[in-house]
Amino acid sequence: MTELLTVDDLTVEFTRGGAAVRPVRGVSLTVAPGEIVGVVGETGCGKTLTGLSVLGLLPPGARASGSVRLDGREIIGAPPSVLRDLRGRQVAMVFQNPGTAFDPVRTIGAQFDRVIRAHRGGSRGRAREHAERLLRDVELADTGRVLRAYPHQLSGGMLQRAMIALALSCDPRLIIADEATSALDVTVAQQVRRLLLRLQSERGFGVLFVTHNLAEAYDLCDRVYVLYAGQVAETGPTAEVFDAPAHPYTRALLDALPRADRAGTTLTALPGTVPSSVLAVTGCVFANRCPRAEETCEHSPPPPAAVTASRTAACHFADTGGPA
Amino acid sequence: MILDVQDLLVRFPGVTAVDGVSLSVAENECFALVGESGCGKTTLARTVLGLQRPDGGTVAIAGTPLAGLRGRALRRLRAQVQIVFQNPYAALNPRMTAGRLVDEPLRLAHPDAGRDDRRRRAEELFDAVGLTGTHRSRYPHELSGGQCQRVAIARALAVGPRLLVLDEPTSALDVSVQAQILNLLDRLRRTRGLSYLLISHDLAVVRHLADRVGVMRAGRLVEQGPSAQLLDAPQHPYTKALLDAMPGRGRAALLADTIEAS
Ligand SMILES: Nc1ncnc2c1ncn2[C@@H]1O[C@H](COP(=O)(O)OP(=O)(O)OP(=O)(O)O)[C@@H](O)[C@H]1O
Ligand SMILES: Nc1ncnc2c1ncn2[C@@H]1O[C@H](COP(=O)(O)OP(=O)(O)OP(=O)(O)O)[C@@H](O)[C@H]1O
Ligand code: SF4
Ligand SMILES: [Mg+2]
Ligand SMILES: [Mg+2]
C-alpha cells in the first residue's frame, strides 16, 4: 500500500531548564489515502506535537528528528517555502478552537478570499463562488450571512464548520484534526463528526484525527494509535483495539470509562501518574502504573511487537488473545 | 428534601436563563442536570448557592427558604451547600499551599477551634479525599489536575455541607483521573451521607453517579426521572437528541444518523 503519510521514528525534543525533555519519543505511524487514523491518549502524551510535526509547525525551540514523509516528500528539515507549499496544497488543519484560527478583525469572507486566491489565483468573484460552494458543503446554508460575518458573530459550531470549509479550500489530501470537536456542545460535536465522515467519504482525503475522547475515536477512526508518554503503546484497527486491547495501558483507559453496565460500581482507576522524567526510566515507561508489570519491565523497554498482522503493542506481556 | 426549588425564574437582560424550574434533591441523593451550553445549569446552581437572586420562585435548603434570611442565619444555611467547579486550577488560589487552602474554610467554619483541632480536621479531610501529608505543602501548580480537584473537594467539605453542587467536576480531567474522582465522590456520598446536584454534559458520567436526572433546554426542565429509566427510554425528543449525540456507538450508528439527517 502506498501511504499518504509516513511518520517514522519521530522524536521531538525541547530544552527546559538546561535539561532535555522529549515529549515525543520514536513515534511511527502511517495514514493511507482515504483513511481516518486516530491518535488518542491522555493529556501531555504528545498528540498535538505529533500532528504539528506533520504540518512543519512545531513551536519555536522544538527539535524534530526521524522522518515525516507526505506523499513521499520529507518534511523534517524541509525549507519554509516547501512547507508553505505543502500546507497550501497537500495538508490542512482543523484545530480545537476555531475562534483563534480566524482573524477577529476581518470578515469570514475576506479570509476565504485571501486563502482561496493565494492557492488558486483567479478573480474575487470566482473565489466567492468557490467559498459559497465550500460553505454549502459543510452545511452552512446561509452563505451570504456567514461570509459577511466577523468570527465573533458566529456560534462555535458554525465557526468550526467554516474552519473545515477553509481547510477544504485547497483540496488537501490529508487533514489533521486536533481536538476538532472538543470545544463544542455535544449535539454540535456529533454534527461535526458526521460532517467529517461524509466529506471524507465523498472526497477521499486522509485524516489524522487527534483526540483525547476515546468514544469519538471509536466512532470515526479506521485505525488508532494509543500514545502514552510520547510513545505508541498500541496500534491497530479501531474496533479490534477497543474490543480486545493488547496493551495494559489501553485496557486501563477503557476500564476507567463510566458505562451503563458499570453504573453504581467502583471504576477501575489507574493509580499514579506519568513519571516526571521519562528519560530517567530505564525499562517500560508504564511500569510504575501497570497492573501486569514484572521484574523485566523495570529493566528493559518493550519494543513494539506484532500482536496480529495488523496490530502491534509495546509490551513484554501483550495480550495476544490466546489463553492467559 | 435537602434542596427544594419551586418555579425558579432568573432573568438577565435579553435572556431568561432559568424559566420556571422546579426540582428537588432528597437526602443522600444525586440529582443530575444535563443540557447544552447556555441552557441555564450554572445559573440555577448559583441561585441554589445564594450567589444569584431569583426573579421569581423559591429555593429552600433543608426546608428553610433562602429568601428573607439575613446575617448569621443566611451564612449558616449557605454553609450547607458548597460547590466544586470544573477547572480546579482556576478555583484555587495559586499562592496558597494545599494545607492552607483547606485550613482557610476550616477557620471560617470553626472560628473557636484551636490550631490542633483544625489540624486534626484538616488531616481527616486530606485522608477522606485521598491526599497524603506530602501534598499539604505543595502549591496548586505542583499538583496534578486530579490532586487539585481533591483539594477543591476537601475545601468544600471543610464547612460540613450536606449538599455539594458539582459543576462539570471531571470534564477537565483525563479519563483515568476522572475515574478516581468519580470513585471518590461515590465513596464520600456513602460515608458522609452527602447529597449532590451534579451538572454535566457527559451522560455516561451522569448515568454512573446520578439517581435522578433533569434535562434542561433554554432555561426549562423538559424531562426528569430516574437516571436509568430516563437514559434508556427517553420520552422528550430533546433528551433523545442528546443521547443520539453521545459518541461511542460505532461508525454504523454515526452513518445511520447521517442518512436520517439528510
Ligand atoms: N513549546 C514547548 N516547550 C516545552 N515543552 C512543550 C512545548 N509544547 C509542548 N510541550 C510538552 O510536550 C508534551 C506533549 O505536549 P502535547 O501538546 O503534544 O500533548 P497532547 O497529547 O496534545 O495533550 P493535550 O491532550 O493536553 O492536548 C507536554 O508535556 C507539554 O508540556
Ligand atoms: N451574569 C450574567 N449576565 C448575563 N447573562 C448571563 C449571566 N450568566 C449567565 N447568563 C446567560 O444565561 C444563560 C444561561 O447561562 P448558564 O451559564 O447558566 O448556562 P450553562 O447551562 O451553565 O452553560 P455551560 O454548559 O456553557 O456552562 C446564557 O444565555 C448566559 O449567556
Ligand atoms: S512491558 Fe510490563 S510494565 Fe510495560 S505495559 Fe507491558 S506488562 Fe506493563
Ligand atoms: Mg493537544
Ligand atoms: Mg455552566
Distance from Cα B214 to the centre of ligand 5, integer Å:
15
In DSSP notation, chain B reads --EEEEEEEEEETTEEEEEEEEEEE-TT-EEEEE--TTSSHHHHHHHHTTSS--SEEEEEETTEESTT--HHHHHHHHTTEEEE-S-HHHHS-TTS-HHHHHHHHHHHH-TT--HHHHHHHHHHHHHHTT--GGGTT--GGGS-HHHHHHHHHHHHHHT--SEEEEESTTTTS-HHHHHHHHHHHHHHHHHH--EEEEE-S-HHHHHHH-SEEEEEETTEEEEEEEHHHHHHS--SHHHHHHHHT-S-S-HHHHHHHHHHH-
What are the tens digits of pLDDT across the range B121-163? Answer: 999 999 999 998 889 999 999 888 889 999 999 999 999 999 9
Q: Which of A222, A267, A288 to mutate: most B Cβ within 10 Å?
A: A267
CATH code, domain carrying B54? 3.40.50.300
Structural domain for B46, as ranges: 1-76+201-262
Q: Is A252 on the interface with B (CB under 8 A)?
A: yes
Instruction: Enumerate the domain spans of chain A.
Output: 99-171
Which residue from B33, B41, B43, B83 has its CB within 8 A of the most atoms of ligand 2, so it is best to mutate? B43
* Nearest residue in chain B measured CA to CA from A243: B250
| Contact criterion met (CB < 8 Å) for B176 and A42 | yes
Residue A320 binned pLDDT confidence (cut-offs 50, 70, 90)? confident
For residue range B62-118, what is the model confidence (pLDDT) as tens digits? 999 999 888 888 888 989 999 999 888 888 999 999 999 999 999 988 989 899 999
Closest partner residue to A186 among B36, B205, B249, by Cβ?
Answer: B36
Q: Which of B8, B10, B11, B15 to mutate to test the pocket of ligand 2 (most atoms within 8 A of CB)?
A: B15
In this prediction the pTM is 0.93
* Residue indicated by cell numbers 502524551: A45
Q: Pocket around ligand 3: residues whose beta carbon is below 6 Å from it?
A: A 248, 284, 286-287, 290, 292-293, 297, 302, 315-317
CA–CA dist A72, A76 (Å, integer): 12
Say whether A264 and B208 touch across the interface (CB within 8 A).
Answer: yes
Would you say residue B125 lies in a domain?
no
Contact A115, A169 (CB under 8 A): yes
At A1, the pLDDT band (50, 70, 90 cuts) reads low
User: pLDDT for A267-315, tens place per residue?
Assistant: 999 888 888 888 889 999 999 999 999 999 999 999 999 999 999 999 9
H or E segment to which residue A99 belongs: helix A98-101
Q: Mean pLDDT over all residues of chain B?
A: 93
Contact between B254 and A220 using a beta-carbon 8 Å cutoff:
yes
The closest ligand to the CA of A231 turns out to be 1
How many distinct structural domains can be found in chain B? 1
pLDDT for res A8 = 98
Partners of B37 on chain A (C-beta within 8 Å) are 185
pLDDT at position B262 is 40
Residue B54: inside a domain:
yes
Rounded to 5 degrees, φ, ψ at A160 are: -65, -40
Phi, psi of B248 (to 5 degrees): 115, 5
Which residues in A lie closer than 8 A to residue B201 (C-beta atoms)?
Answer: 185-186
Partners of residue A24 on adjacent β-strands: A12
- All three cell numbers of A192, joined, read 461535526
On chain B, the residues whose CB falls within 8 A of the CB of A220 are 251, 254
Nearest to A182 by CA among A157, A154, A152, A148: A157
| Distance (Å) from CA B219 to ligand 2 centroid | 10
Question: Distance (Å, rounded) from C-alpha B192 to C-alpha B172?
Answer: 25
Distance A213 CA to ligand 2 centre (A): 25
Residue in A186, A251, A255 to test binding to B, most B beta-carbons within 10 Å: A186
User: In this complex, is the C-beta atom of A315 within 8 Å of any C-beta atom belonging to chain B?
Assistant: no
State ipTM: 0.89
| Strands laid side by side in the A5-16 sheet | A19-31, A5-16, A63-70, A73-74
| A216 touches B at CB < 8 Å | yes
